[in-house]
Amino acid sequence: MSTNRYDFHFPSNVSSQSNARLLYVSSAKYGGDWHSNPHTHYCSEFFYVTEGVGQFQIEDKVYPVSANDLVIVNPNVLHTELSLNSNPLKYIVLGIEGLELSVTEEQDNSHFCIINFKSVRNTILFHLQYMLEEIETKAPGYEIVCHDLMEIFTVLVSRQTNFSAALTPIAKKGSRMCASVKRHIDNHYRENLSLDSLAEVAHVSKYHMVHAFTQEYGVSPISYMNSKRIQEGRKLLETTDFSLSLISRMLGFSSPSYFSQTFKRQENCAPLEYRKQSRLTTSSQET
């Protein structure tokens, strides 16, 4: 799998005609060594297939795709791409925040769509490839040029389909991103998570992610992750005879001492003291 990805940090002092914001652009060629896993993003993704034949798995269904197909997937929709090795997929992906698919009439699938752009292939490719060229050269103002190209691209998309792209209210942007990070922590808190890996999930800088998450939930991402770990640690101390070393490894802490320090800070007692007290309480209740 060969992929070139470019992340954007759009200047905050530059005005925009819409609330949409280009987060990243990537170009990829599907290889036989790539094992795709279903995943979600807090932003919308626009996949334009430039070559090849394959499939898109969206939630629990699979749809065929080929050259000139555009797949639009709304935020928080489980999806992944699958390719035929004999004719591998090549595609360009845009990650756009603040823009999601809305349906003009009743449809069963309102959270994604697949559109064929064969009739306007040259126009679509011109704008996407121009965007990639701007990113590669990084001439002064390239972020603004790419953002403007993104807005033109979305207008061209709306012309070719019965679907329209509706802007997500600004107030929901931070909440959507924070919810995505929180959900990732909830599912993976036992793993070796870092601020950098959480920022990759959110597609923003780690400084922006930490600030937004702390504002949203009143605690930092690392503090929230540690509280999840300690919550699980209490159960293990109450119900098992596992050593502190084993429990700390199971919960993703770097060392038993760090686990003990974090536990004591949150519970106001050491782990072994907590285990002793919980068992005395259980024993007195049984008698």
pLDDT tens for 60-118 read 889 999 999 999 988 878 888 888 778 888 999 999 887 777 654 444 556 788 888 99
Give the full edge-to-edge strand order of the sheet including 69-73: 2-7, 21-29, 90-97, 44-51, 69-73, 112-116
User: Cα(96)–Cα(180) distance, rounded to whole angstroms?
Assistant: 15
SS3 192: coil
As for how many domains the chain has, the answer is 2
Work out the pLDDT band at 171, boundaries 50, 70, 90. Answer: very low
Range of the domain at 44: 2-168
User: Cα(163)–Cα(218) distance, rounded to whole angstroms?
Assistant: 38
User: Cα(254)–Cα(245) distance, rounded to whole angstroms?
Assistant: 10
Give percent of the chain above pLDDT 90: 40
- Claim to verify: residue 161 and residue 180 sit in the same structural domain: no
* Amino acid 169: pLDDT: 44
- Claim to verify: residue 76 and residue 113 sit in the same structural domain: yes
Task: Count Cα atoms within 13 angstroms, Cβ side, for 9.
Answer: 7
Are 217 and 224 spatial neighbours (Cβ–Cβ below 8 Å)?
Answer: yes
- Claim to verify: residue 36 and residue 108 sit in the same structural domain: yes
* Amino acid 242: pLDDT: 94
- Claim to verify: residue 73 and residue 136 sit in the same structural domain: yes
